[in-house]
A and B are shown apart, each in its own frame.
Chain A
Amino acid sequence: MKKQRFTRFFVKNLHMIMLFFLCVVILVLPHLLRESLIGDESYFSLRMAKQINEGQWYDHLSYGGRENTYILGWPILLSFFGLFLDLTFVSKALPFVLGIASFLLFSFILKELRIEYKYRLLSAFFLIFSPSFIYVFSVSQAFSALVFLSLLGFYLFLRGEYLFALFVFAVFPFFDFFAGALALFLFSLYIFFFNKSKKKWLWFFLFTFLLVTFAYQWRRLLFFGLPEPLNFSITKEYLSFVELGSTFGISIFGILFALFGFVFFWKSSKKIFLLLLLLSFFILGFFFSWSLFFLNFFLAFFGAYGLFNLVKMKWESHLIKRLSLLILIGGFLFSTIFYLQRLNEMEPTPEQTGAFLFLRRTSDEDTAVFSHYSKGFWINALSERKNIMDANFLYAPDVNRRYNWSESFLHSTRLEENEEFLATYPFLYIYIDDLMRKRLWKEEDEGLLYLFSYSNQFKRVYKNKGVEIWKIKRTEE
């Protein structure tokens, strides 16, 4: 009897099961293609998780040493599993597991919303091939958990498990306040438009979310006050297409499918909810690139709706229909394939990792290393050395002064102009790579590069392809 039920389930959901395995393959591919973790945040989380397991609270490496004022939800989660498994493995495996779970939750949610099987199937297909989905569940970062928790909370709510859902939403502030707020906003849109009877739960959710946020943040506010406002702007990636070089984003062909889907959907039922939703995402996308991780699920559904209706639509020319669909699907799949290839080439490259490991091998433990702030997490995690700056600006000591002095040091050709900087931050090594050369300097003998070429104060101690480490001669040496 049990066997029969299983066979029936298997036959009924054969396509979904196949997609599940495809999802497993796609999410495991980035880790098969490369050895190291992807991005810099994953290394920060890894280091923090290690520190938590070692019982250390004060951060000795970031900014040469600073109070631990970070949001630690994700590192704590890593450290918990790190008690039983290797932390690097956990950093790869946890996002992967959450990705698989999110895939399943997405399908269950669509089922709960009584979306037809064919749309569910196609939505799942669009989801697993979308670059944002691959990115968020390949890189060890808080958003892997946030996306999963949002889906879980919503699913529990749909199933009538309100208290469990409340608990899930309450955990959001431990990962990211703004992303949690966005998830709640989406949730409130749903309640407002489709489930007004459950409005009271929305107030509970909001109250709990704010309460937990306050409870979690009060220590920071009480002990450290408000953070120093930044006097500089940092280059951010906005709502963008992966085909145009964005680290993560939408695929052009994916958005085309979604656009078709939206037009078809709008024709059949003009839901103001959808317009509001897409408009919100569009606006949010300009401020928070991560909003794409959430938008992605809606795009997957509209993509499915678009594809199905394009197939169903009566075309004058069958050949043109087939060719058009082939181009759309081909373009969408090509984007994903090329994106997977790009994930493999993302930073840190083996050359960069080699350079950071070189520093760990050859320098003293309390040595500080100077580089652009975008390399700071790797200096801490891979070299296990102090940095002058990294991308964690909030509550960082002297953040504006460090930034201004670093900029001046990177772009000045006169060492005397930076005496104060060199005296205040006694770093011994300078790390540079090709990306820095491309982004920071227009010319090959500009600023610090000029000094490297013409000043005897600097000596190159490491070079591998475009990655270089320079040692600075201090007067006391």
Chain B
Amino acid sequence: MKNLLKTLLKHKIPLALFLVVSLFYLFFSIQTAQFSSDEAYFHLQQIENINSFGKPLLEDKLSYGGRKILYPPLFHYVLAFFSIFLPLAFTLKFIPAIFIGFLAVIAYLIAKEISGNEKASFFAALLTGFLPMLVSQILNKISIYSLVLPVVFYMIYSFIKIKDDQKYVWRFVILSFLLPFLHPTAFLFVLVLVFYVLLIVSESISISRLRKEVLVFSSLLILLLEFLFYRKALLEHGIALVKGGIPPQLLPYSFQNLDVFLILYHLGVLTLVLGSFGVFSLLYQERNKYGLLLVSVVLSAFLLLLLKFIDFFGGMLFLGVALGILSSIAFSKFFEYIAITKISHYEHYITIFVFIFVLSLSFIPSYLLGEKVIDATLSDEEKNAFIWINENTLENATILADIDEGHFVTGIAKRKNVFDSFFLLAPKPLQRFEDTRVMYLTWSEARALSLFRKYDINYIYLSKQTKQKYNFDELMYIGNKNCFKKVQSNEKAEIYQILC
């Protein structure tokens, strides 16, 4: 007990970071019984399937009216494993929060390695843990990135520590094996390693033979496993697979153009400014071979975002976390500078000031963003509408819902949808996307009915959100009572049955 306390006290900074960040995420997650994105319900289905049958859903009879699912299963297995000991709903809120807590600790450890300054590392980890992008994309969403990010950055940490301890070699190797089973962005890590090699060669920095070997091995392993796992999808989509099989016309939905304001909004001013300073400093002033690894993450993510080879939010998450960690260089330089000035006597006060400054520019915006995420969560009224569908419609009924609601239809209502946002190997997603627009916006009853027949649609789910998105108050062809009957209505959603 005494030893444990001693260890905890010794690691009080990482522990504090872990607790603060995890509790922050948990605090918001438990405010609602629902999840804050429709994709969460896709993950929920997969996990439930593993719990029931021991394997993820490979043939989804509901999504797109029936399609194949090709998704790395590790994340779902991990959560399914924890749900053996904890109630499923709690697991799905608790475990991702814990993972993000770990990410903050890993960020602290890496920052400490590259800056050598505890204080600077603490602030950098704080910035990383409360990154606005993390909050908007991970909070209460069963996001796969809650596990991908800690794994990728722990691999980077292990790579840095390889020289000190052989056990890190094996950690790196094992995680290289697991990463392709976690997320398709494993290829990003290979790109990071390629960039790293280019940087260290151009800077004439030497790295140990063992590191080189591990680097080659990891890249090859990831390449082989991704090739084996996505073999069929690669043949169908080619290199466009890295875009998740999204048709080019649907790219703006997931792939946005990069502009400074967008980056500022998602990463926060402080992370962007201090992180960029860190990148600049490592590229032009210091010869820090570990720091260059983080710079490689920034460059790879930026390049992929620029070429639209990675979805916007995924790319920004990697970019944000790497910049957050690299901000430790800026903090470190700041404290070093203070130490040689006359105000060095007031270092404690300056530290407190920096702490408040960092909190006000990271914690507070993230807190406000967290509230916004929870507010935008599926409301009880919307959920009730889906539950109504589940209880009052035939099991093989097909429901028309917008792209952001597709997984709610399959996950909560347990009915077939027309389409959803999981495009890989999906049948004609673009056509369905365009047809859905027509079904919501056309004034022609005949046109709408022909499309309803085409997709065997029995019910229309119409939320307030969809009305706002397509900018209409009511479906224009709904007047014919012989064909359309409003069967359910509340403040946020309406359900129409198609009778003819």
Contacts and interface: CB of A to CB of B under 8 A. Distances in A.
Interface in A209-257: 243-245, 252-253, 256
19 contacts: A243-B231, A244-B234, A252-B227, A253-B223, A253-B224, A315-B209, A316-B208, A316-B213, A320-B173, A321-B213, A327-B224, A331-B220, A331-B223, A334-B224, A334-B227, A342-B235, A443-B428, A444-B454, A445-B454
B209 A331 contact: no
A407 B431 CA distance: 21
Contacts of B169: 317, 320
Nearest to A245: B235
Given A330-B224, A442-B430, A444-B431, A324 B213 contact: yes
B224 A315 contact: no
A331 B219 CA distance: 12
B217 A327 contact: yes
Interface of B: 169, 173, 208-210, 213-214, 216-217, 220-221, 223-224, 227-228, 231, 234-239, 428, 430-431, 434, 454
A272 interface: no
Interface residues of A, number: 26
B428 A256 contact: no
A338 B223 CA distance: 16
Nearest to A443: B431
A323 B234 contact: no
A26 interface: no
B235 A324 contact: no
Given A317-B169, A442-B430, A442-B431, A243 B213 contact: no
Interface of A: 243-245, 252-253, 256, 314-317, 320-321, 323-324, 327-328, 330-331, 334-335, 338, 342, 442-445
Contact of A324 (B216, B237, B428, B430): B216
A316 B223 contact: no
Nearest to A342: B235
A342 B228 CA distance: 15
Contacts of A443: 428, 431, 434
Contacts of B220: 256, 324, 327-328, 331
A434 to B, nearest CB: 12
Contacts of B224: 253, 327, 330-331, 334
Contact of B209 (A316, A328, A334, A335): A316
A158 B403 CA distance: 66
A317 B210 contact: yes
Contact of A243 (B214, B217, B227, B431): B227
B210 A316 contact: yes
Contacts, number: 68
A327 B221 contact: yes
Most buried by A among B173, B209, B220, B238: B220
Given A320-B173, A323-B217, A324-B217, A252 B223 contact: yes
Contacts of B434: 443
Contact of B238 (A244, A316, A442): A244
Contacts of A342: 235
A394 B194 CA distance: 45
Contacts of B216: 324
A309 to B, nearest CB: 13
Most buried by A among B213, B228, B236, B237: B213
Given A243-B231, A320-B173, A327-B224, 16 more contacts: A244-B238, A245-B236, A316-B208, A316-B213, A317-B169, A320-B214, A320-B217, A323-B221, A327-B217, A331-B223, A342-B235, A442-B430, A443-B428, A443-B431, A443-B434, A445-B454
B426 to A, nearest CB: 14
Would you call the interface of chain B mostly helix, strand, loop, or mixed?
helix
Most buried by B among A253, A320, A321: A320
Contact of A244 (B223, B239, B431, B454): B239
Nearest to B228: A334
A338 B234 CA distance: 12
Nearest to A256: B220
Given A244-B238, A315-B209, A444 B428 contact: yes
Contacts of A315: 209, 213
A317 B234 contact: no
B221 to A, nearest CB: 6
Given A317-B169, A324-B220, A331 B428 contact: no
A316 B169 CA distance: 12
Contacts of B227: 243, 252, 331, 334-335
A332 to B, nearest CB: 10
Nearest to A335: B227
B158 to A, nearest CB: 14
A317 B431 contact: no
Contacts of A253: 223-224
Contact of A317 (B213, B236, B428): B213
Contacts of B223: 252-253, 256, 331
A204 to B, nearest CB: 45
Contacts of A335: 227
Nearest to A328: B220
10 smallest CB-CB distances across A and B, nearest first, come from A316-B210, A245-B235, A244-B238, A327-B220, A324-B217, A316-B209, A331-B224, A443-B431, A320-B213, A245-B238
A256 B428 CA distance: 35
Contacts of A444: 428, 431, 454
B148 to A, nearest CB: 22
Contacts of A445: 454
Contacts of B214: 317, 320
Contacts of A442: 428, 430-431
Contacts of B234: 243-245
Contacts of A320: 169, 173, 213-214, 217
A342 B214 CA distance: 33
A215 to B, nearest CB: 43
Contacts of A330: 224
Contacts of B209: 314-316
A338 B238 contact: no
Contacts of A323: 217, 221
A347 to B, nearest CB: 14
Contacts of A317: 169, 210, 213-214
Most buried by A among B217, B228, B238: B217
B74 to A, nearest CB: 19
Contacts of B228: 334
Contact of B231 (A314, A324, A327, A338): A338
Nearest to B431: A443
A339 to B, nearest CB: 10
B198 to A, nearest CB: 14
Nearest to B230: A243
A198 B238 CA distance: 45
B201 to A, nearest CB: 12
A316 B173 CA distance: 15
A86 B239 CA distance: 42
Contacts of A324: 213, 216-217, 220
A334 B226 CA distance: 13
Contacts of B231: 243, 338
B250 to A, nearest CB: 12
A109 B383 CA distance: 73
Nearest to B239: A244
A245 B431 CA distance: 23
A323 to B, nearest CB: 6
A334 B231 CA distance: 11
Contacts of B235: 243-245, 342
A443 B208 CA distance: 56
A443 B231 CA distance: 26
A120 B213 CA distance: 27
Contacts of A316: 208-210, 213
Contacts of B237: 245
A316 B224 CA distance: 23
A47 B359 CA distance: 78
A445 B239 CA distance: 28
Contacts of B210: 316-317
Nearest to B166: A317
